[in-house]
Amino acid sequence: MSTVDALTDRAMVILQDRPVVALHPWLATAIAEGADSGRVLQLVTPLDTRLSLPLRTVAAAGDGVQWVIRDGSGYYEGLTGRPLRWSGGMFAPVPEARDYAPGFTSRPGAPIGSQLTLVYRMRHGTDGVLGGPVERLLQLLTGKTPAGWGPAEPLEHPWQSDRFTEYVRGRSSAKLIVGGDGPRAAQAMCEFSASTGGGIAEVSTVTVGYAPEDPPPLQHLPSLVGGLAADQPVASLFVQLTPGRADLTTEPRWTGAPAPVALAVSGSVNGPAGIPGQQVGPPRAPLTLFPLGDGRSPDGWQRHRHLMQHLQS
């Protein structure tokens, strides 16, 4: 068992007092040990601590990790603002709480820009390079090939798509971080799993940070999506904007809700009334791109729901 600050039947509690907590190898090991023992790993930090994007992704997915903030008025959950208190061997929600914790609604410590997120799904065959799509997308977004990759932070390996492929194909499943290069912060979280017929399914999330004075290039989205699909067929691609820091770290404060920008699906597909589709990508593997909003209005979620109901029917 990794060194922890408190261990109960229900939780592993780790205290961290540093500006940024990342998904370090020892922390990834502790998360796995907690899952194996049926415990939640509760990471306790002060109000001025931020999480790296990979660690925030793990915590937001509910994969056995909870971010607990310690401030002057007590404790709260860093991603939701829900007040917490120590109860029954772990930090648990305060039943009588009816509002966010005060720290969650305090002013952010840095200007809030936007984070452009693209989630793509595709299926790979039994051979061939696996790092091509994420390399291509990061290159389209940043102008440079990725800087490195690895299962934890800091990234252990310089970018080499053949080594990346060798690592993934040697396992039944893999979760890897790919770091971008260039003037803007960019990272990808790539998940691979074995699929029927010996192939590999990929679900990858690429995120790029933009400062308030540097808006994301949404007008180039059709050519960007088409460029990704030019090398290998894409099953789907979802795009959204989230208010956040340009460095892709997360403060334990409310900065705004994400909103959808577009959804692309494979093939030539007709959308519902009011949501026209646009053909992008090569003729041999076309995608239909449906605009959903500007990434700032919550109305985009209504269009997203309407489109999904139409596609599923």
Domain with residue 88: its CATH number is 3.100.10
Q: Please name which of 67, 72, 9, 126 lies closest in space to residue 249, comparing C-alpha atoms.
A: 67
Is the same domain home to 21 and 168?
Answer: no
Is the same domain home to 162 and 232?
Answer: yes
Give me the pLDDT at residue 313, please: 86
Which residues, in sequence order, are CB contacts of 236 under 8 Å at separation 6+?
120, 121, 263, 264, 265, 266
Is the same domain home to 33 and 83?
Answer: yes
Give me the pLDDT at residue 212, please: 97
Is the same domain home to 141 and 202?
Answer: yes
pLDDT digits (tens, 9 = 90+) for 97-106: 999 999 999 9
* Domain closes at, from 105, 129, 159: 105
| Tokens (6 digits) for 43 | 């990471």
* Domain closes at, from 48, 82, 105: 105
Domain assignment present for residue 266? The answer is: yes
Q: How high is the mean pLDDT of the chain? A: 95
Domain assignment present for residue 211? The answer is: yes
Mean pLDDT computed over 59-64: 88
Domain assignment present for residue 15? The answer is: yes
Domain assignment present for residue 72? The answer is: yes
Expressed as residue numbers, the domain containing 27 is 6-105
* pLDDT of 1 above 50: no
* Domain closes at, from 40, 70, 105: 105
* pLDDT of 76 above 50: yes
Nearest-angstrom CA–CA distance, 240 and 221: 11
Is the same domain home to 152 and 281?
Answer: yes
Q: DSSP H helical segments within the chain, as ranges?
A: 25-37, 53-60, 132-142, 161-169, 221-229, 299-312
Q: In the structure, what pLDDT confidence band is assigned to residue 198 with cuts at 50, 70 and 90?
A: confident
Is the same domain home to 126 and 234?
Answer: yes
Is the same domain home to 24 and 121?
Answer: no
Domain assignment present for residue 283? The answer is: yes
Q: In the structure, what pLDDT confidence band is assigned to residue 88 with cuts at 50, 70 and 90?
A: confident
Is the same domain home to 153 and 210?
Answer: yes
Does residue 88 or residue 262 have the better pLDDT? 262
Q: In the structure, what pLDDT confidence band is assigned to residue 63 with cuts at 50, 70 and 90?
A: confident
Is the same domain home to 92 and 23?
Answer: yes
Domain assignment present for residue 143? The answer is: yes
Domain assignment present for residue 48? The answer is: yes
Give me the pLDDT at residue 2, please: 52
Sign of CA dihedral 45, 49, 53, 57: positive
| Tokens (6 digits) for 274 | 């009011």
Domain assignment present for residue 1? The answer is: no
pLDDT digits (tens, 9 = 90+) for 208-260: 999 999 999 999 999 999 999 998 899 999 999 999 999 999 999 999 999 99
Is the same domain home to 287 and 216?
Answer: yes
Is the same domain home to 122 and 85?
Answer: no
Q: How many domains does the chain have?
A: 2
Mean pLDDT computed over 181-201: 93
pLDDT digits (tens, 9 = 90+) for 123-165: 999 998 999 999 999 999 999 999 999 999 999 999 999 999 9
Is the same domain home to 213 and 69?
Answer: no
